[in-house]
Amino acid sequence: MPSDGAGDPVGQATQATQATKVDPADPVNSVGQVNHVLEFPGGYTRSVGPVIGRFLTELRDARLVGVRTAGGRVLVPPTEYDPADGAPVTGEYVEVGPAGTVETWSWVPRPRPGHPLTRPFAWALIRLDGADTALLHAVDLGEIDPGCAPPPTLTTGLRVRPKWRAERIGGIGDIECFRPDVTMITDPGRAEYRLRPGRALGRFLDGIAEGRFLGHRCHVCGKVYVPMKGMCPADGVPTTEEVEVADTGTITTYAVNNIPDPRAPEVPFVSAYILLDGADIAMVALVAGIPADQVRMGMRVKAVWRPREEWGPTMQNIRWFAPTGEPDVPFDAIRDYL
């Protein structure tokens, strides 16, 4: 096993000497100092012996094995001796994993050049299923911006599995990293509709394009619907009698919204039921031009139109409704519209 603590325990063998390079970002580069690099050509060669050799050979074949001690424990990564008492291990190799459990971890928010991953990751002690000891390796938790805190999914007890390199050489770096079990997938969904306003709403929007509010009067109940639907929802009859109503009205009730919405200029914004003068049903619209905490039930308002040259058959023609400054309407006059 590589023992250079500051370095790269899981890098490919060819990368093992990088730890001795001086990090260009290190302050040792400050004026007046000179970098002096010691890099043994080709890297040190190490005889791994029979036990670690077996481990590395199995790694090259994408298998994980441990060695059993005389006491029955399975050591992963294996050693030639039982670290508890110094006794030789048995010759029994046990396949473990490939899944394992994170026993503890340390977060690396900004990986350094010698690190096995370029995006934030965790060093973790991973106890592979069937092993009695833990293996140090990197855990990749997906796309995470540099400097970010660890995701809440990173916990002791997290289940992880190795990501094997396609080309293996018999080194701990044959495992690129460990990754959590798949617990979620994303499922894109998109529906596209072609909409037409229909005859009634189309006529209403034609009116809006001319700066007018049009509605229908029901011939049964006499109520005026703005916008019209071409039918009366209360009487279930078609409506055809067109009426024009004012662009002034009264706020019957409203909500002060503290949840941002792309259609509102700011938070808080007021969405209000506005009973246009001449209509019998209130419509919901934005109220602005007054602080939200000064809006009142019964307040008189008027549509604020965008410049005429911007008008089209759309409610976008109306920026919002703003107070007219007239006295409020008494509650009794609006209570039947709530």
Name the site residues for another protein (rule: CB under 8 A). 183-184, 187, 189, 195, 197, 201, 205, 218, 221, 223-225, 232-234, 252-259, 261, 263-264, 268-269, 271-273, 280-281, 284-286, 292, 297, 314-316, 318, 331, 335-336, 338
Which CB atom, from 181 or from 309, has the smaller least distance to another protein? 181
Which CB atom, from 52 or from 255, has the smaller least distance to another protein? 255
Contact (CB, 8 A) for 238 and 228: no
Residue ranges in 129-281 assigned as alpha helix (H): 198-209
Which CB atom, from 102 or from 172, has the smaller least distance to another protein? 102
CB 203, min distance to another protein, A? 12
CA distance 105 to 136: 9
Which CB atom, from 124 or from 286, has the smaller least distance to another protein? 286
CA distance 22 to 267: 51
Which CB atom, from 126 or from 279, has the smaller least distance to another protein? 279
CB 335, min distance to another protein, A? 6
CA distance 178 to 200: 61
Which CB atom, from 90 or from 257, has the smaller least distance to another protein? 257
CB 28, min distance to another protein, A? 46
CB 150, min distance to another protein, A? 17
CA distance 130 to 163: 19
Distant-in-sequence contacts of 9-14, Cβ < 8 A, 24+ apart: 9/136, 9/172, 10/116, 10/137, 10/138, 10/172, 10/173, 10/175, 10/177, 11/114, 11/116, 11/173, 12/169, 12/171, 12/173, 13/43, 13/169, 13/171, 13/173, 14/43
Name residue 250's amino acid. Answer: T
CB 171, min distance to another protein, A? 35
CB 223, min distance to another protein, A? 4
Q: Which residues on neighbouring strands pair with residue 231, listed in sequence order? A: 238
